[in-house]
Structure 1
Amino acid sequence: MHYIQPRPSSIVAALYTARDLGVDVAILHGPSGCSFKHARLLEEDGLRVVTTSLSDNEFIFGGQPILEDLLRYAEETFTPYRMAVIGTCVSMIIGEDMQAAIDASGISTPTIPMDIHAGFSENIDGVIAALEPAARAGWISEEELARQQVLLAGANQVEKLRGAASKRYIEPERGDLKHIAATDLLSLARSGKKGMAVMNAKKETAYMFIDALLALHEVAPDADITYLVNLDDRGLPKVRADAERILTEAKERGLPITILGSLDEYGIIGDAIGEAICARNPDYLLIVGVPHAVESRYTEGVEVFSITNGPRQVAPLRELGHQHVMVEIDLHPKTLGVRSIVESEFGAVLRSL
C-alpha cells in the first residue's frame, strides 16, 4: 500500500533495537539532523547517540575517515560495553562500507554495523538490519533471531489488518473523554458484573499501560475482575529486564496477575488473548496497549474499553466495535528511561473518582 500518512522510520527502529541489545553507544553515520528527535529521546533511556555529521564534502568524497575517527573517540571517551554503527540514507547512497571502517579503526569494543536507510516501507526492516549482525556477532542466538523474525511479521500483519497501517490515510483522533469512560468502567466494576482487564503492551510502553489495571484494582478491589498481562520472561536483554521490573512492582502493589505472552509478543498473542476472553466470558473488558491484536470475533457481546497511545488507532478500534476508545498522548516519551511504573492519565482519572 502507498501510504500518504507518516510511517515509522526503519533507521529509528534500528536505534531502538540497538538499545534493546545492550548497546551503549550508537553512531549514526549520516547528517547531524538524521533521526534527531528519537536520538535525543533514546539518550534518556541510556543509549548514547552520536553522529558523524556528514555534510556536502562527505557526500562526494565519502565519510569513512570520519567514521573511523569517531569510533576511536567513542571508545576512548565513553568506554562502552557494545557499540553499533547505524546507516542512514546518505551512507547508503554513497555506498559506505561500515564494517570496513570498524575493522580499520582499530577499536577493541564489540561493534556491529547496521546497514539500513529510511527508504523501506516497513520499519521492521530496521529491526532485522540490527538483529542479523547481532546474531552473527553472537550477541543473540540464531534461535532468538528466528523468533524475532516471526514476532516482527506477526506485529506487521496486525498493523496492516486492524491497525494504523490498514489504510492509506487515517485521521488522527484523541478518543473519548477519559472521565466519562472511567465513570462507566467503575460503575460496571462496582455493579457485580464479571470483568476482565488485559495488558498487551509493546516493550517499555508497559510501564504506563499497566497503570490502568493497577488503578482499576485500587478503586474496585473487590470487583469480579480477572487481570491478564504480557510480562513473561522472554526477549532481548532490555525487554526482559523491563518485564521483570514491572511484574515485581505490580505484584508488590497487590495486582492479581495471570501472565500470557511477553512484551515483544504483542503482535502474535491476539488469538491466545481472545481464547482467554472467551473462556472468561466477561460482561466488560478493559484492554490496553495493542488492543487491535485481538480480533473482533473474540469481543462480540462484550462492552470494550480500549486504551492506545496512537491517535491514528482510534478509528480502527471503533471499527472493531470497541465502545470506549481512549488515547494516552505522549505515552512513549514518558516511558523512556524509566525503571518503575508511571501513572497514566486514565489511571489518574480512575483514582480521582
Structure 2
Amino acid sequence: MPVRFMHPRPSSIVAALYTARDLEVEVAILHGPSGCSFKHARLLEEDGMRVLTTALADNEFIFGGQKPLESVLRYAVDQFAPGRMAVIGTCVSMIIGEDLTAAIDSAGITTPTIAVDIHAGFAENIAGVLATLEAAKGAGWITEEELARQHRLMGKANEIEKIRGAASQEYIEPSRGDLKHVAAQRLVECANSGAKGVAILNAKKETAYMFADELIALHDASPGADITYIANLDNRGLPKVRADAQRIRDGMASRGVKPELIGALDEYGATGDALGARIREIAPLFALIAGVPHAIPPEYTNGIECFSVTNGPRQVAPLHAIGHEHVLVEIDLHPRTMGVCDIVESEFGAVIRSIAR
C-alpha cells in the first residue's frame, strides 16, 4: 500500500506560483480567498513577481467570482503594465467551477496571460508545475521539447522523494541536524589530511545561491586540498533558472571555485547516476554534498564519509538512514535566497570559515 503522508507536504498551488515566476511572469493572480498560499505569495514578491488575489469571500463562493477576477486583471495591467501574467486557480475556484480562461477573455486586456486550473487536492505538488507548463506551452512560451523535458524531470524529482526523501515515510520527525561546529571541524580535518575528496552542489533552483557557499567555504578553508568540485549549473531550463545558474557560476568563479558541470538547476532529481558515476571515478574518502544529497543513490556513497547539507528538517532522518554520517540543515535558507542575485553566506559555510581561522 502506498505511503500516506501524515506530515505537511508542498502545495500544488504554490508549485504553480513558483513555476510562473520561472517563466518570467510579472503578475500572478490567485483566484481565491486572500489568505490562500499567503506565506509563499509574500516570498515570491521578494523575488520580483507581483502576487495579487481576488480575495473571494462567502458570497462569491455561492454566486461566482468571474467579475472580481476580470476587475483584478484590468487593475494589474493598469497598475503594473506587465509583460506576462498568470491566473492561478485555488480550491475555491475549482469547487465553484470558475472558467479562468473566460474571465481573461472577457477582461478586455491584451497582456499575454495564461490560466492555470489547479487546486491543493492533488496527491503530488508537481501537478501545479505541470499544469502551469502545459498552459505555457499552449501560449507558445515554451516548446514541446521543453515541456517533455520538464515532465521527465518532475517525475524523477518525485521518485527520489518517495524513495529516499521526505515522502518516503508516513511521518518523519523534523530535526535541525547534527552540530555544525563538530561537522565543520571534521570536514576541515579531512580536507587538510591529504585525503581525496569531492564537493558537490546538487541544488534545486534558487536554493543554490546559498548551497554554493558551502563549496566556497570549503575551498576558502582548504585551498590546496585534493578536492574535485562539481555543480549542477549547466545552462538549461526555464528563463529564471538559466539566469540563476549563470550568476552562481560567475559568483563561484570570482571566489576561486570553477566546478565541473553535471546537470542543471532544475535537474537536481535526475542527476543521481551521473554524479554517482563521477564519484566512483574520483574514489574520494569524503564528500560534501549540498542541496539535494538524497538524489545520489546510496550505492555510490557507501564507504565514503558524507557531509550532507539540506534545508529540509524532515530530510535529516532519511539521509542518516542511507549512511550519511553528518547531516546539516540550513533552516532559514529559502527566505534568504528569494530575490537575490549573488551567492548568500550559509550558516555552515560561516562555521567552516571560523574553524579554519
TM-score bracket, normalised by the shorter chain, equals: over 0.9
SS in 2 for 1:42: helix
Paired with 2:258 and 2:138, the residues of 1 have a C-alpha distance of 41
Deviation, structure 1 residue 121: 1.1
Q: Verify: 1:218 aligned to 2:240, yes or no.
A: no
Residue 89 (structure 2) aligns with: 87
Paired with 1:257 and 1:19, the residues of 2 have a C-alpha distance of 27
Q: Is the 8 A contact 2:30 2:90 kept in 1?
A: yes
C-alpha deviations, 1:65-96, integer Å up to 9, x for none?
A: 11011101100110001000000000000000
Residue 331 (structure 2) aligns with: 329
Paired with 1:105 and 1:16, the residues of 2 have a C-alpha distance of 24
Deviation, structure 1 residue 37: 0.5
Amino acid in structure 1 at the alignment position of 2:252: A
Deviation, structure 1 residue 252: 1.3
Deviation, structure 1 residue 256: 2.9
Deviation, structure 1 residue 249: 1.1
Q: 2:127 aligns with which of 121, 125, 128?
A: 125
Q: 1:47 aligns with which of 49, 64, 72?
A: 49
Question: For structure 2, which runs of at least 5 residues remain unmatched after alignment?
Answer: none
Residue 257 (structure 1) aligns with: 259
SS in 2 for 1:92: helix
Residue 144 (structure 1) aligns with: 146
Q: 2:205 aligns with which of 198, 203, 206?
A: 203
SS in 1 for 2:72: helix
Deviation, structure 1 residue 298: 0.3
C-alpha deviations, 1:238-268, integer Å up to 9, x for none?
A: 0000000000111111103111100000001
Q: Verify: 1:97 aligned to 2:99, yes or no.
A: yes
Amino acid in structure 2 at the alignment position of 1:239: V
Residue 278 (structure 2) aligns with: 276
Q: 1:245 aligns with which of 223, 244, 247?
A: 247
Tell me how large the CA RMSD over aligned residues is.
Answer: 0.5
C-alpha deviations, 1:165-209, integer Å up to 9, x for none?
A: 001100001111100000000001000010100010000000000
Deviation, structure 1 residue 234: 0.1
Deviation, structure 1 residue 25: 0.2
Amino acid in structure 1 at the alignment position of 2:224: D
Paired with 1:312 and 1:257, the residues of 2 have a C-alpha distance of 29
Q: Verify: 1:299 aligned to 2:311, yes or no.
A: no
Q: 2:349 aligns with which of 343, 347, 350?
A: 347
SS in 1 for 2:122: coil
Paired with 2:114 and 2:224, the residues of 1 have a C-alpha distance of 52
Paired with 1:257 and 1:71, the residues of 2 have a C-alpha distance of 44
Paired with 1:257 and 1:316, the residues of 2 have a C-alpha distance of 27
Paired with 1:74 and 1:301, the residues of 2 have a C-alpha distance of 56
Deviation, structure 1 residue 3: 1.1
Paired with 1:221 and 1:179, the residues of 2 have a C-alpha distance of 20
Aligned length, in residue pairs:
353
Paired with 1:112 and 1:259, the residues of 2 have a C-alpha distance of 34
Q: Is the 8 A contact 2:249 2:258 kept in 1?
A: no
Residue 266 (structure 1) aligns with: 268
Paired with 2:171 and 2:323, the residues of 1 have a C-alpha distance of 20
TM-score (normalizing by structure 2): 0.98
TM-score (normalizing by structure 1): 0.99
Q: Verify: 1:22 aligned to 2:24, yes or no.
A: yes
Question: For structure 1, which runs of at least 5 residues remain unmatched after alignment?
Answer: none
Amino acid in structure 1 at the alignment position of 2:170: R
Residue 177 (structure 1) aligns with: 179
Amino acid in structure 2 at the alignment position of 1:244: Q
Paired with 1:113 and 1:131, the residues of 2 have a C-alpha distance of 11
SS in 2 for 1:187: helix
Paired with 1:67 and 1:296, the residues of 2 have a C-alpha distance of 49
Paired with 1:268 and 1:248, the residues of 2 have a C-alpha distance of 24
Paired with 1:4 and 1:286, the residues of 2 have a C-alpha distance of 31
The percent of aligned pairs where both chains have the same amino acid is 68
Residue 40 (structure 2) aligns with: 38
Deviation, structure 1 residue 127: 0.3
SS in 2 for 1:39: helix
Paired with 1:4 and 1:162, the residues of 2 have a C-alpha distance of 16
SS in 1 for 2:189: helix
Paired with 1:206 and 1:13, the residues of 2 have a C-alpha distance of 18
Amino acid in structure 2 at the alignment position of 1:171: E
Structure 1 residues 66-85: aligned runs within 5 Å: 66-85=68-87
Amino acid in structure 2 at the alignment position of 1:330: D
C-alpha deviations, 1:199-237, integer Å up to 9, x for none?
A: 100000000000000000011000000000000000000
